[in-house]
Amino acid sequence: MSGVVKIEIRETAAELKEMMRSEKDAVAREKLQVLYWLQTQMVDSVLSAAVRLGKHRTTIQRWLSSYRAGGIAELLSQKARSGRPKIMNAKTIEKLEKELSDPEGFSSYKEVHQWLTSCCDIPIAYRTAHQWARYRLKGKLKVPRPVSEKQKIGAPEEFKKNCQP
């Protein structure tokens, strides 16, 4: 009969259930769920497992073929994701964190951008430098408020002296 699964599952239902409970990754938990259903005979075909799980039948077939090839280890292994690598490595990020925590570090995000392009030799856009410094590393640049040009020199210190009891 077409669609009937012919697979030998080496793990017991109790082992699979325990693996599902301890698994943090949702996709890996779904893969274990399919094996559990097949082991306990809650589903009898790939199509019924796919419908119950909300996945396409070819996805379930791919999971089962990887299980046949290498067991649980092969089924749960995650392939390296392709994509563009990060523009800054861990060493540069650490240096930037140190500079941001320094009280005399940067007075503007433009300085952060210039520091990254000149000192670290990273061709980076201003927007990227701002996002790294402000949002990812949670660095807030401590810049004093602007002072009026009309204000007398020493007036804030004199005010502070006279106000304290």
Q: Are residues 26 and 65 in the same domain?
A: yes
Q: Are residues 40 and 71 in the same domain?
A: yes
Q: Average pLDDT, stretch 80-89?
A: 84
Q: Where residue 1 falls among pLDDT bands split at 50, 70, 90?
A: very low
How many structural domains comprise the chain? 2
Domain that includes residue 57, residue range: 13-76
Q: Where residue 59 falls among pLDDT bands split at 50, 70, 90?
A: very high
Q: Position of tokens 């280890």?
A: 73
In this predicted structure, what is the pLDDT of residue 4? 64
Higher pLDDT, 84 or 28: 28
Q: Are residues 65 and 98 in the same domain?
A: no
- Are 120 and 92 in contact, with CB atoms under 8 Å apart? yes
Helix axes 90-101, 109-118, angle to 10 degrees: 140
Q: Are residues 23 and 71 in the same domain?
A: yes
Q: Which of 11-20, 31-40, 51-60, 72-81 has the lowest mean pLDDT?
A: 72-81
Q: With pLDDT > 90 as the criterion, what percentage of the chain qualifies? A: 51
Looking at the domain assignment, is residue 157 inside a domain?
A: no
Q: Does pLDDT of 162 surpass 80?
A: yes
Q: With pLDDT > 70 as the criterion, what percentage of the chain qualifies? A: 96
Which of these, 74, 75, 3, lies nearest to 36 by C-alpha position? 75
Looking at the domain assignment, is residue 112 inside a domain?
A: yes
